[in-house]
Amino acid sequence: MQKRYDVLTLGETMIRLAPPRWQRLEQADSLEVAVGGAESNVAVALSRLGLKTAWVSRLTDNPLGHRIAQTLRAHGVDVSHVIWTPAGRVGMYLVEFGQPPRATTVIYDRRGSAMSEMTPGDFNLTLLDEARLLHVSGITPALSPACRALAEGVLRMAAERGVLRSFDVNYRAKLWSADEARAALEPMCVGVDVLFVTQQDAQRLFERQSDAPEILRWLQARFNVGVAVMTMGKEGAMALDRDGCFYKGQAEPTPEVDPLGSGDAFAAGFLFGYLTDGNLASALQLGASAAALKRTIPGDLALISLEDLRQVTDQNEGQIRR
């Protein structure tokens, strides 16, 4: 029987403000507005690729909150389960794009957001029965103790109800220390069907300095996950399934227009493959293509179609289609 949602996500989405390239925040006279959040970025991309998605969160009932809901809805994500509140505020983040040696820098301004006060009791558990897969990231437990309980609870309930679970570690050093994050995130990784981690997070969080296959084996052994997927920047990505099979995907080299959200685009591309034909090699390829396209698009959202993904492999540099 087909379920109402292919993918259900839960998390915080923020208003993103950025100076026009390459200005400093100090000097910008206008800030470009976008909408971004790790989990809803995944939902938008999956919805555009053709899957049915919903995003659960808590938003302040003001124009900024409505803007977030409208943006996600525009791309087909079901936002009807969002909890609206007159209290709190809408989380924001500011991003200043730099060219080396100047870093691209994020300033979070999400303290006191409506989402950070969402509790396990706010989540309608019957939604889990309507979803094929639940996608959660390691950012939510960093927001507040309530959110940590929420993320843990929902993941646990999903397991109990036989819903597939995908978890993206997504360590954010500006939100908590590596020690705090490790303590919170390790239990959440256990037993998930798909575990996403960047090589940098594997190093910072799990203190794995070894080569990719070894790290994946360690993750597999420690957390007993269905598939462990590690992204390695320009080195591409690698996956390890329960049968011990390794899969390797190449990264598409791209000039960088906007790196934010490319990890989420990768996750979406991978999950699309995972949920449609289950071929992990092609899932890695879809993830790499989605991430590469995202890096060429301003904003957090991967404004791509399945057709776009398919054209990545044929692409000749500098070609004009006319």
- Catalytic residue, chosen from 211, 264, 277, 308, is 264
Assess 32 for contact with its own copies (CB under 8 A): yes
Strands (DSSP E) contained in 182-253 are 194-198, 227-231, 237-241, 246-249
Enumerate residues 6+ apart whose C-beta is below 8 A from 171.
Answer: 138, 178, 181, 185, 201, 204, 205
Per DSSP, the residues of 114-146 read: TGGG--GGGS-GGGGGGEEEEEEETTHHHH-HH
Q: Per rule CB under 8 A, is residue 315 in the interface with its own copies?
A: yes
Kindly indicate which of the ranges 181-189, 205-213, 257-265, 276-284 contains the residues binding its own copies, using the contact rule CB under 8 A.
257-265
Q: Any contact of residue 310 with its own copies (CB under 8 A)?
A: no
**Which H or E run contains 59?**
strand 58-60
- Which of positions 98-137 make contact with its own copies (CB under 8 A)? 98-109, 111-112
The answer to whether the beta carbons of residues 96 and 128 sit under 8 Å apart is no
How far from chain centre, in Å, is Cα 259? 13
CA distances from 292 to 104, 168, 221, 304 (A): 18, 19, 30, 11
- Stretches 144-152, 168-176, 187-195, 240-248: which one binds its own copies (CB under 8 A)? 168-176
Among 119, 250, 254, 276, binds its own copies (CB under 8 A): 254
Residue 203: other Cβ atoms inside 10 A: 15
Task: Show the binding pattern over residues 174-193: x = contacts its own copies (CB under 8 A), - = does not.
Answer: x-------------------
Minimum Å gap between C-beta 226 and its own copies is 28
Q: Which of 9, 53, 71, 231 binds its own copies (CB under 8 A)?
A: 71
Residue number, 126 or 319, with CB nearest to its own copies: 319
Nearest approach in angstroms of CB 77 to its own copies is 10
Q: How far apart are alpha carbons 241 and 246 in whole angstroms?
A: 7
Question: One symbol per residue from 199 to 238: x for binding its own copies (CB under 8 A), - otherwise; what is it?
Answer: ----------------------------------x-----
**Least Å distance between CB 280 and its own copies?**
21
Alpha-carbon distance of 70 to 161, in angstroms, equals 31
Per CB under 8 A, 25 contacts its own copies: yes
Which residue stretch of 29-37, 49-57, 147-155, 203-211 sits at the interface with its own copies (rule: CB under 8 A)?
29-37
> Is 314 one of the catalytic residues?
no
Q: How far is CA 80 from CA 97, 124, 166, in A?
A: 33, 12, 22
DSSP string, 275-307: HHT--HHHHHHHHHHHHHHHHTSSSSS----HH
Near its own copies in 280-299, by CB under 8 A = 289, 292-293, 296-299
User: Of 12, 76, 148, 246, which one interacts with its own copies (CB under 8 A)?
Assistant: 76
Active site residues: 264
